[in-house]
């Protein structure tokens, strides 16, 4: 999937307050991203465990293939600016 290598993917699960906080904050940005529910996607859950010390800690986010575990909005946007700045400049 192209988003996994060049875009932003947010791995989340229902009832996760940290996920809901980040997703709500991102609604007020121009950032385009793909959401993946780890409870419905075993491969995604395995990926999250592989980058989060064996835990299903969410939100886990990839920016141009680089994983971040439970980033703040600021950390996420800084990573996008560093590794995929075109994602913030597309079609306002």
Domain holding 43: CATH number? 3.40.30.10
> For 7, which DSSP code?
S
Selected residue with higher pLDDT from 68 and 5: 68
Answer yes or no: pTM beyond 0.85.
yes
How many Å apart are CA 32 and CA 37, to the nearest integer? Answer: 17
Q: Is 6 helix (H, G, I), strand (E, B) or coil?
A: helix
Largest CA distance in the chain: 38
Work out the percent of the chain whose per-residue pLDDT is above 70: 90
In whole angstroms, give the CA distance from residue 48 to residue 30. Answer: 25
Residue range 16-37: average pLDDT? 95
User: How many domains does the chain contain in total?
Assistant: 1
Domain residues for the domain of 6 are 2-89
- For 35-53, what is each residue's pLDDT tens digit? 999 999 999 999 999 999 9
* CA dist., res. 15 & res. 23, Å (int): 12
pLDDT band for 60, please (50, 70, 90 cuts). Answer: very high
């Amino acid at each position: 999937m192209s988003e996994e290598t060049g875009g932003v993917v947010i791995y989340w699960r229902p009832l996760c307050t940290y996920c809901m906080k980040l997703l709500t904050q991102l609604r007020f940005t121009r950032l385009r991203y793909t959401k993946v529910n780890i409870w419905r996607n075993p491969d995604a859950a395995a990926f999250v465990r592989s980058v989060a010390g064996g835990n299903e800690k969410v939100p886990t986010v990839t920016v141009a293939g680089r994983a971040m575990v439970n980033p703040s909005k600021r950390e996420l946007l800084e990573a996008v600016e560093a590794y995929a700045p075109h994602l913030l400049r597309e079609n306002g």
